[in-house]
């Protein structure tokens, strides 16, 4: 999510506005339905109808509460790839218009996603990161963990359930505020930090393991190098990095660069510590600091 998007901001029942984007649920929403009744959709997919409203875009949907989980990311990326620049607004809009109460909407989203992660062989977009999270959990050393680029925080929440003591961090203060509220609602309060992953407000060697799971594809090479230096500064025992292997960066998810084994091995050699590079649903670099 962007740093300026507040996922818990007040909204209207069944419709959501953010900048140039309007999202509505097709059931019982008077104002947007009055608009769509007069318009022909410019794009129709399995989950969405898209309408042009001058410079604005209206997206309607029929998601139910029991369908609200992180598979939504895959639906948006595949079906509305031409609106990739509005991914975060659309994502938030669908969640917020499926269940009216802001915190309840996100709590339903979190509960459904975490339940899917616990099921063997999850489907859709969740299936792509379930094995990545499972491997990341296996690679943690010690009990204290700093997770960089946590986004919704599904990995730190799974760490808590395994008896670890994670800190979730992300550049988006709104997303970290949401994670703090939802984790408290679940009865497992999670410490969060809203910060740049290259400038973490923690002391050197203050946590056992630092993880960056599918973060570095979102930042420039120079920023990524700074993030790695910061991870090595903060970690007492281990640094764990995971990145996707893509032919081209996926703009729908905000990816700006690609990786291969050579890049990961170069990072490992430059670190000056023992390292391992391997492939498992993408590329991995593990740095053993001590």
pTM for this entry? 0.91
Shared-domain flag, residues 225 and 135: yes
Q: Are 217 and 248 in contact (CB under 8 A)?
A: no
Would residue 114 count as lying in a domain? no
- Residue-level pLDDT at 94: 97
Would residue 110 count as lying in a domain? no
Shared-domain flag, residues 101 and 125: no
Is a pLDDT exceeding 50 seen at residue 169? yes
Instruction: State which residues form the domain around 208.
Output: 121-288
Tens-digit pLDDT profile for residues 261-280:
999 999 999 999 999 999 99
- Provide the pLDDT confidence category of residue 215 given band limits of 50, 70 and 90: very high
Shared-domain flag, residues 174 and 278: yes
Specify the CATH number for the domain of residue 171.
3.40.50.150
Shared-domain flag, residues 127 and 212: yes
Shared-domain flag, residues 51 and 195: no
Q: How many structural domains are present in the chain? A: 2
* Mean per-residue pLDDT, 52-65: 92
Is a pLDDT exceeding 90 seen at residue 173? yes
């Amino acid at each position: 999510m962007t740093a300026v998007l507040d996922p818990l901001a007040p909204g209207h029942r069944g419709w959501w506005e953010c900048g140039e984007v309007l999202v509505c649920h097709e059931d019982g929403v008077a104002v947007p339905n009055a608009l769509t009744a007069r318009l022909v959709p410019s794009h129709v997919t399995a989950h969405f109808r898209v309408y042009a409203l001058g410079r604005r875009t209206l997206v309607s949907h029929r998601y139910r509460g029991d369908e609200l989980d992180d598979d939504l990311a895959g639906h948006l990326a595949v079906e509305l790839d031409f609106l990739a620049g509005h991914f975060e607004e659309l994502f938030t809009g669908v969640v917020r218009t499926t269940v009216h109460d802001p915190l309840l909407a996100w709590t339903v989203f979190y509960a459904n996603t975490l339940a899917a992660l616990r099921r063997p062989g999850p489907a859709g977009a969740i299936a792509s990161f379930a094995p990545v999270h499972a491997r990341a959990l296996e690679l943690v050393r010690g009990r204290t963990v700093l997770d960089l680029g946590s986004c919704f925080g599904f990995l730190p929440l799974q760490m808590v359930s395994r008896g670890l003591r994670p800190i979730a961090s992300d550049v988006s203060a709104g997303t970290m505020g949401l994670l703090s509220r939802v984790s408290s609602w679940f009865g497992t309060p999670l410490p969060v930090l809203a910060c740049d992953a290259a400038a973490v407000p923690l002391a050197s060697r203050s946590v056992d393991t630092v993880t960056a799971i599918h973060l570095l594809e979102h930042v420039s090479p120079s920023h990524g190098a700074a993030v790695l230096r910061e991870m090595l500064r903060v970690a007492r025992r281990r640094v764990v990095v995971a990145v996707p292997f893509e032919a081209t960066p996926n703009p729908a998810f905000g990816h700006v660069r690609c990786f291969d084994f050579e890049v990961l091995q170069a990072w490992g050699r430059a670190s000056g510590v023992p390292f391992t590079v391997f492939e498992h649903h993408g590329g991995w670099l593990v740095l053993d600091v001590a």
